[in-house]
Amino acid sequence: MKPSKGDRVLVAMSGGVDSSVAAAILVEAGYDVVGCFMRLGTPGDTVAGTTLGHKGCCSLTDAHDARRVAAALGIPFYPLNFADDFERIIEYFEREYHAGRTPNPCVRCNDWLKFGRLHEYARGVGAAWVASGHHARIDEATGQARLRRAIDVDKDQTYVLFGAGGIPGVRPRQLDRMMLPIGDLTKAEVRAMAESIGLGVHSKPDSQEICFVPDDDYAGLLERRDPGRFQEGRIIDGAGNTLASHDGHQHFTIGQRRGLGVAMGSPRYVVAKDPAANTVTLGIRSDLDACSCTAHEVSWHRDPEVDWTPCTAQIRAHGDALPAKVRSTGADRIEVRFEEPHTAVATGQAVVCYEDDLVMCGGWIDAVERRQ
């Protein structure tokens, strides 16, 4: 099904320039546009034991900006209280860090809220489509909706949207009901369009940090929530020799080089963490080299491939796409092998595979094979 003029479209408005211009484009195109803001909690609110900060993508200022844009466009606007649902995101973040993994709460927010609760709300208000201001495109050249990289490659957000392809037995495909109006525009064009139609958010800076960790102190957040989970442990080398002590493995991430508290005459990196033993292992850079990884909760955007298939693989929202190959190893599992060893791979991250600029599949890394 393709959108038609007059169709009702629910637009997720964050108060930023991208979603504001997305709404404006749809209004100009003749759609019946309804704006909404996902209220995850206002600054000072306590959500799952966490006091929200004043920055991010869901602040009180953002809500006011979204409402003002909706008024300027002459569309109805509804704040949706997703604060209770947002507890799940924070608890996931906490659980993953304590387990020694590297979580990505922004991707999970898309998976659980934007592809879940928001689509449920859209059906409730009779909206056939859900739109957002993400820099990505939807391609239907093959007869099935596929996620394609944005024109502005530097702003591309297909990585954080991979879950829209659906997960068998968990969540249906949402791409068939999505619209991404700004995917064919550069960021500069988006800002220029916002200014030309008089939207006050045209110069508003992009959100950079996790909305519930505005100071980027992840360990500080976790320690305030549950200080008993932080225990003194050992920093060791690859042979198990003690190099120093630490105040909790949660203070370290895979690949970290600075702030290790150990001077060894040459650079050392965090190459492993063992939450059960509460140890942090240091090594040299080549110890981080990963040859392959496996992932679960896989969302396919095309028919799964059981044979090795060439692709490029991305493991960070703004990371490079690495030459690789991928294959399906089960209903919701994949294995990805990198053409050259890569250092920035850690469990808990998402890996998204592409063929050219089309998303093939994506999932959550649960094991990494390091080069021996």
SS3 112: helix
For CATH 3.40.50.620, list the domain ranges present in the chain: 8-133+181-196
DSSP H stretches of helix in the chain: 17-28, 60-73, 83-98, 105-109, 118-124, 187-196, 218-225
pLDDT at 365: 97
pLDDT score recorded for residue 47: 44
Residue type, 148: R
Residues acting as catalytic residues = 109, 211
Distance CA 50, CA 283 (A): 34
Q: Give the Å distances, CA to CA, from 41 to 2, 65, 72, 83, 134.
A: 35, 16, 25, 5, 22
For 303, residues 6+ apart whose C-beta sits below 8 A from its C-beta are none
Q: Where are the domain boundaries for CATH 2.40.30.10 in the chain? A: 288-370
Those residues with Cβ within 8 angstroms of residue 132's Cβ, 6 or more apart along the chain or in another chain = 11, 12, 19, 22, 114, 178, 180
- pLDDT tens for 159-203 read 999 998 877 666 778 899 999 999 999 999 999 999 999 999 999
Q: How far apart are CA 365 and CA 108, in angstroms?
A: 13
- What order do you get walking across the sheet with 233-236 strand by strand? 242-246, 233-236, 279-283, 269-274
> So what's the pLDDT on residue 41?
58
Number of Cα atoms under 13 Å in the Cβ half of residue 292: 9
Q: For residues 167 and 356, what is the distance between their CA atoms, to the nearest angstrom?
A: 22
Reference 319, options 292, 295, 346, 296; nearest CA is 346
Q: What is the phi-psi region of residue 240: left when phi exceeds 0, alpha when psi lies from -120 to 50, beta otherwise?
A: left
User: Within a 10 A sphere around the Cβ of 325, how many other Cβ atoms?
Assistant: 19
The CATH fold assigned to 288-370 is: Elongation Factor Tu (Ef-tu); domain 3 (2.40.30)
296, β-bridge pairs: 364
d(CA 177, CA 168): 17
Contact, 294 vs 333, CB < 8 A?
Answer: yes
Contact 85, 221 (CB under 8 A): no
The answer to whether residues 119 and 128 touch, using CB atoms and an 8 Å cutoff, is no
Phi/psi for 360 (5° steps) reads -90, -55
For residues 162, 333, 93, 220, the Cα torsion angle rounded to the nearest 10 degrees is -110
Confidence at residue 83, expressed as pLDDT on a 0 to 100 scale: 81
DSSP one-letter code for 110: I
**Assigned CATH for 8-133+181-196:** 3.40.50.620
Residue segments in the chain with a per-residue pLDDT below the cut of 70: 1, 41-58, 168-170, 208-209, 214, 372
Strand partners, 136: 149
Which pLDDT belongs to residue 54?
A: 43
- What are the tokens at 330? 């089960």
Write out the two tokens for 218.
Answer: 């992840």
**The two structure tokens encoding residue 362:** 């994506």
Residue at 274: amino acid letter: D
Report the alpha-carbon distance of residue 354 to residue 191 in Å, rounded.
28
Place of tokens 């993508």: 57
Domain ranges in the chain with CATH number 2.30.30.280: 231-285
Q: What is the CATH code of the structural domain delimited by 231-285?
A: 2.30.30.280
